[in-house]
Copies of this chain bind each other. A is one copy, B any other.
Amino acid sequence: MVEVKKVKRSENYSEWYNNLVKQADLAEHSAVKGCMVIKPYGYAIWEKMQAELDRQFKETGHQNAYFPLFVPKSLFEAEEKNAEGFAKECAIVTHYRLKTDPDNKGKLMVDPDAKLEEELIVRPTSEAIIWNTYRDWIQSYRDLPILINQWANVVRWEMRTRLFLRTAEFLWQEGHTAHATKEEALAETKQMLEVYADFAENFMAVPVIKGVKTENERFAGADETFCIEGLMQDGKALQMGTSHFLGQNFAKAFDVKFVSKENKKDYVWATSWGVSTRLMGALIMSHSDDEGLVLPPKLAPIQVVIVPIFRKEEEKMAVLEKAREYANALKSKGISVKLDDREGQSPGFKFAEYELKGVPVRIAIGPRDVQNQTVEVARRDTKEKQVMAEVDLVHKIEHLLTQIQQNIYQKALDFRAENITTVNTWDEFKNVLENKPGFILAHWDGTSETETKIKEETKATIRCIPLDSALEEGKCVYTGNPSKQRVLFAKAY
C-alpha cells in the first residue's frame, strides 16, 4: 500500500494530490465516468465533518428532511436562470425499464415502450423540487420560517473531473430556508456563512476569506452569493462553501405566497447554502506533505495510534499490556485510539502507514519504555518526537492534540498571509500571477466585462469581494476606471 511511486509536492502538485488521495485510501475513480468511490478511510473523515456540521445546523434551529432525487423537467425549467445554469450538465432519466435484447443473448436493452412521458432530471441541486413542495406548506406567516437541511447526493455532468474537487456525483448538504422578510432571509444567509467559516477554521484548520461573489460567479438563480474561499498550498484558491440569498426568485417561479401579519399577500423570501465532499479536497490540499496526509485532530478518524515494539516473545506481554492500558485510558477521555498490534509488519512500516494516513499523534512503546515508565510520542504535523513520562499521560496527549490543531491552523494562516499580494498596476498583477501564486488584492471597476477580460487573459477570477475589506478609492488595474474597494483575485480550482 505504501510502496507507490512518490511524486513530491513541490515537483507536481496535481500528481502529488492524485497519488495521495489513492495511496491514503481516501477515494478512487469508478467504472462510471466522473463518479468516485469514497473508500472507508475517506468516508470516515467525511462522517466526522458531517457530524459537526449537522450539530451546528441543528444548534441554529434547522431540521433535516429528504426530497426526491429526481426533478421533473417542467419543474426544473421553472426558474429560468437556475435551469439555464445547470441544463448543460445534468443526467436525464428517460426510461423506466430494461428488457432482454433479442439480438444479444444474456444482454439487456432499454425498453422503448417504457419511455417516460416527462423526462426526469437527476438533481444537480434541489431548489426546484423543494420550492414546488414548499408551495403546499406555506400559507401564512405562521408557517414561516421553514429551516430545512438535506444530506444528499447530487449529479452535475462535469467533463473534467478530479477526485473530491470536481466529480459528476458528489455528496453534500443543502439548506433551503423560507422567510417572511428580506431582512430575515439575508440574516440567515449570513448566519450560515458564519457557520461554514467557523467550521473551516476551527475544525478543518483552514483559514478562509468570507466574501460576496460578483455577478459572473453568482449561483444561477440567486440575488447574492456569499462564499468562503480557502488558499491551497499551490497558491490556487478553492471555493469551500456558498450561501445564497435567493430573493423571491424561486417563490415567484413556483408561486409560493404567504399572508403576512398585516394580512397582505407576498412572495416568500429564500436562501440556500451548501458544502460538499469538495471539502475533503480542501482538507487534503491545505495541510498534507510528502509523507502523506496531515489531519487536524478534530477531524481525524484515528487521533492517536499506539505501536507496540518488541523482539522477543517475553517482551511482548509487558509491552502489549502497557499499550492496552494507555489505549483504554485515552479512550475513556473520548480520544479515538487505534492500537496496532498486527504482527508481521515492522514498526517502521506501521510508522510510514500512519504518517501517510495523517494520524496526528503516534505513541511507540518498547520494553525499555515499560521499564522506564515512558513512551515515545511523535506528532505528525511537525514530525517532532519526544519521550514522555507516563505520569499524567492522558492529559499531556489531550494538550498535544489541542496544540496540533492550533499549529496546523496557524501554519495555514501564515502561508496565506505570505501569499496575499496587493497590486496596483496591470503589470504587477500579471507579474505576481506568474511568479507568486496566491491571492491578489486589486482594484476592479465593477463590470462583468472587465472581469471576463481579465479571466480570458490570465485565467484569474474574482474569488470574492471580501466582507471585511475597507472602502478605498482606487483605479481598476485593468481599465483604470474608478473603484471603491479592492477585490480578491486568484486562479482557482
CA distance A92 to B115 in the complex (A): 10
Check: A30 CB closer than 8 A to any chain B CB: yes
CA distance A133 to B36 in the complex (A): 11
The reply to whether A37 and B73 form a contact with Cβ atoms under 8 Å apart is no
Residue interface bits A233-256, CB-to-B below 8 A is 1, else 0: 000000000000000000000000
Q: Separation in Å of the A103 CB from the closest CB of chain B? A: 14
CA distance A95 to B87 in the complex (A): 11
CA distance A32 to B83 in the complex (A): 18
* Residue in chain B with minimal CB distance to A119: B110
Q: Separation in Å of the A48 CB from the closest CB of chain B? A: 12
Check: A13 CB closer than 8 A to any chain B CB: no
The reply to whether B83 and A108 form a contact with Cβ atoms under 8 Å apart is yes
The reply to whether B70 and A129 form a contact with Cβ atoms under 8 Å apart is no
- Interface band, chain A: 35 or more
With a CB–CB cut-off of 8 A, which chain B residues contact A75? 31
CA distance A94 to B67 in the complex (A): 23
Given A94-B110, A108-B77, A30 contacting B68 (CB threshold 8 A):
yes
Check: A90 CB closer than 8 A to any chain B CB: yes
Check: A66 CB closer than 8 A to any chain B CB: yes
Check: A120 CB closer than 8 A to any chain B CB: yes
CA distance A472 to B192 in the complex (A): 65
The reply to whether B108 and A98 form a contact with Cβ atoms under 8 Å apart is no
Check: A88 CB closer than 8 A to any chain B CB: yes
Segment of A38-46, A214-222, A482-490 in the binding face: A38-46
Q: Separation in Å of the A216 CB from the closest CB of chain B? A: 21
* Residue in chain B with minimal CB distance to A122: B93
Of B37, B77, B152, B155, the residue contacting A106 (CB under 8 A) is: B77
With a CB–CB cut-off of 8 A, which chain B residues contact A65? 37-40, 43
CA distance A76 to B119 in the complex (A): 22
The reply to whether B98 and A68 form a contact with Cβ atoms under 8 Å apart is no
Check: A312 CB closer than 8 A to any chain B CB: no
The reply to whether B97 and A87 form a contact with Cβ atoms under 8 Å apart is yes
Interface residue ranges of A132-173 to B (CB < 8 Å) = 132-133, 148, 152-153, 155, 157, 169, 171
CA distance A253 to B444 in the complex (A): 60
CA distance A267 to B302 in the complex (A): 33
The reply to whether B72 and A32 form a contact with Cβ atoms under 8 Å apart is yes
Check: A469 CB closer than 8 A to any chain B CB: no
CA distance A76 to B98 in the complex (A): 11
The reply to whether B80 and A31 form a contact with Cβ atoms under 8 Å apart is no
Check: A209 CB closer than 8 A to any chain B CB: no
With a CB–CB cut-off of 8 A, which chain B residues contact A47? 64
Q: Separation in Å of the A78 CB from the closest CB of chain B? A: 9
Check: A55 CB closer than 8 A to any chain B CB: no
* Residue in chain B with minimal CB distance to A87: B98
The reply to whether A91 and B120 form a contact with Cβ atoms under 8 Å apart is yes
Of B108, B129, B157, the residue contacting A87 (CB under 8 A) is: B108
CA distance A110 to B106 in the complex (A): 30
Of B44, B73, B133, B157, the residue contacting A108 (CB under 8 A) is: B73
The reply to whether A121 and B98 form a contact with Cβ atoms under 8 Å apart is yes
CA distance A76 to B97 in the complex (A): 13
Of B70, B71, B169, the residue contacting A70 (CB under 8 A) is: B169
With a CB–CB cut-off of 8 A, which chain B residues contact A95? 91-92, 94
With a CB–CB cut-off of 8 A, which chain B residues contact A97? 87-90, 92, 157
Apart from A37-B68, A94-B94, what are 4 other A-B pairs with CB-CB below 8 Å?
Answer: A37-B65, A44-B63, A68-B169, A94-B110
13 of the cross-chain contacts (CB-CB < 8 Å) are A31-B129, A32-B71, A32-B72, A35-B68, A35-B70, A39-B65, A69-B155, A70-B91, A70-B169, A73-B108, A90-B97, A90-B98, A92-B94
Give the 9 A-B CB pairs with smallest separation, nearest first: A40-B63, A35-B68, A87-B98, A38-B66, A96-B157, A92-B95, A32-B68, A94-B94, A91-B93
